[in-house]
Every structure is written in structure tokens, then in C-alpha cells.
Structure 1
Amino acid sequence: MRHYEMYFIKQDVASEYAGKETLLYHLFSERKRALFVEEKSLLDKQVSFITEPVCEEDLNKYIVNELGGFRTYEFRNDGHRLSIKQSQSDASLFVRREKLNLYSSGSNDAETVFFEVIRKLTPSFFAIDFQSGRYGWLNPIKQQKLV
């Protein structure tokens, strides 16, 4: 099973860190591994400073509206679930104020559907799969080229 955490990064921070995704990954990774209360508290403050809270109600309504046409989609118990039988793909998405959690198994078809729906909202959602060490923007942010 794959697990992704997705954070809504403030737009100015996202623009500044386009091309420097490794630095963001290290911040979130250090926060996850922090053992001491003081260290975790400092890292929590840093993450809070660069992220925006997610409006759970609005995002849930948006996802239901976007995916309601799928026969194998359901929204219940504050979670979205999508199964794609042909490719034996399952994914569940949980929207929380501080982050989105996506759990998937089988092929990546169902998780890709969730990623595509979320990436339409804003370019500054940053996804992390800590287990595999994969991370990146759901919608790549273009760096400005200064002449």
C-alpha cells in the first residue's frame, strides 16, 4: 500500500521553492522523524508558516462534484474512495485541515484520478510518499526567468 501526504503550500513559498523541492521534502521528513518535543515543535512551526490550511468542507464538495460520475466512487465517513476494477486499483483520500492523506493499492490509476482532480485547484499542492522517498508538486510550478 502506498501512502501520500499532500500539503497546500503558500503560493509565494511555492514559487520560491520551485526547483528546490528537495529542501521541502527534507523539512517534512525531519518533522516526521523528530524525536524531541522541542525539535518537533520548531519543525511544526516551520511547516505551519509555509502551508495554508485546507478548507475541508469546500474541498470535499469539490471532489464529490468532480468524481460523482464514477460508478465506483463513494464519499462516506469523511473519506473519498475510488476503485477501478479493470486495473485492480483502489485509492482512498482523506481531507484534513493540515494535509490530505491518500492511500492506494494496486496500479496507480485510482490515485492518479485523485491527483488530477486536486491539481486543477492550485499548482501549490506538494505530495510526499515517505516510504519510497518520492515527492513533488501535483502541478509543476514554472520558475520565472529573469532577463
Structure 2
Amino acid sequence: MYGIYKVKKEYEPFVIGREQLLYDLLKENGEQSNDLKEIHYLCDIIEPEIIDEAILSNLSKVFETIERENGEYKLTHPVKGSILISLSAYSLSVFCDGSRMLDLDLFVALSEVDSRFFAVMDNNGEWGWLKPIKFSDSERKTAAIFR
């Protein structure tokens, strides 16, 4: 089970290099994280239109069926398995049943619509940006100041 959050653009430089702290905040509070003031401060509200674009435009080519109802999506692939996605104000809850390739498909689709998605998988202690962050030399120096 994953929780996927969208870090606000103005706080991305602050979070870079401190991802472990963000992970600790998100994993400790699990289901309640959408109610936390820290989440409201650090993360953007997830717009359903962006998720629709990511899923319907990018994943319809990969998955055999895509069902959408009341802010939930179920995507099915005959070989890889299925993905169940629930949308709330500040996060996506994602359950993959099958191959780890399902994760990759979803991560690529979401990272194509925005680069600031951050995923937390508490059961395995995994976390990270869906799209690797690239820096120019000047951005690296600025990011180092925030550490």
C-alpha cells in the first residue's frame, strides 16, 4: 500500500535532502495524514483532473480495463495484475495486487503530469520521489544551503 503526496513547489528545495524526515512524518500518521497541519503546509491539494489525465491518458494504453467511480480507480492488466487507487484531498492511496511493474507504470504516468509527487510505502520502509530530481550546479548550491 502506497501513500502518494504532491509536495508544494515552494517547499521542494526544503524537502530535498530531508526526504527521510518527510517519510517519518507521513508513515507515523498513516491514514490520519490528510488531517495534519504539516501536510496542509507542505503538500498541495491533489486535483482530480491531474489524476484523470495521468490515468486515462497515460495508462489507458497499458491497462486492459480502467474503471472510475466516486474518486476511486481500478486498473487491470491481464499479466501484471491490478491497481486500486483512492483519491483524497492531499493524497492518493494505492494498492497494487501483482507485479512490481504495476508500481512503475503508475509512477511513470504520475511523474509525466507533475514532478513533485512523493511516495511512501510504510510496510516495506520504501519512500521517494516518483521522478528523480535533477539539478543544475547553481540549484545544487542553493539546495545545499537548506540542509
Flag whether TM exceeds 0.5 (same fold): yes
Deviations 1:50-82 (A, max 9, x none): 000011134224421222234513122232223
User: Which has the larger displacement, 71-80 or 109-118?
Assistant: 71-80
Give yes or no for contact 2:54–2:110 (8 Å, CA) kept in 1. no
Distance in 1 between the 2:104 and 2:123 partners?
18
User: Which has the larger displacement, 78-87 or 115-124?
Assistant: 78-87
Match of 2:119 in 1: 127
Give runs of ≥4 in structure 1 deviating > 4 Å.
Answer: none
Give yes or no for contact 1:15–1:141 (8 Å, CA) kept in 2. no
- When you count helix as a share of all residues, which structure comes out higher? 2
SS in 1 for 2:16: coil
Match of 2:141 among 134, 141, 146: 146
Distance in 2 between the 1:33 and 1:100 partners?
11
Pairwise CA distance, 1:111: 2.3
Structure 1 gaps of 5+ residues are 35-39
Structure 2 gaps of 5+ residues are 143-147
Match of 2:10 in 1: 12
Aligned residue type for 1:21: E
Match of 2:145 in 1: none
Tell me the C-alpha RMSD between the 2 structures: 2.6
Distance in 2 between the 1:29 and 1:86 partners?
31
Match of 2:45 among 49, 53, 58: 53
Change (3 A) 1:63 1:45: same
Match of 1:82 among 75, 78, 81: 75
TM-score, with structure 1 as normaliser: 0.79
> How many residues in Structure 1 have an aligned counterpart in Structure 2?
138
Pairwise CA distance, 1:128: 0.3
How high is the sequence identity, in percent, across the aligned residues?
22
TM-score, with structure 2 as normaliser: 0.79
Pairwise CA distance, 1:33: 8.8
Give yes or no for contact 1:128–1:135 (8 Å, CA) kept in 2. yes
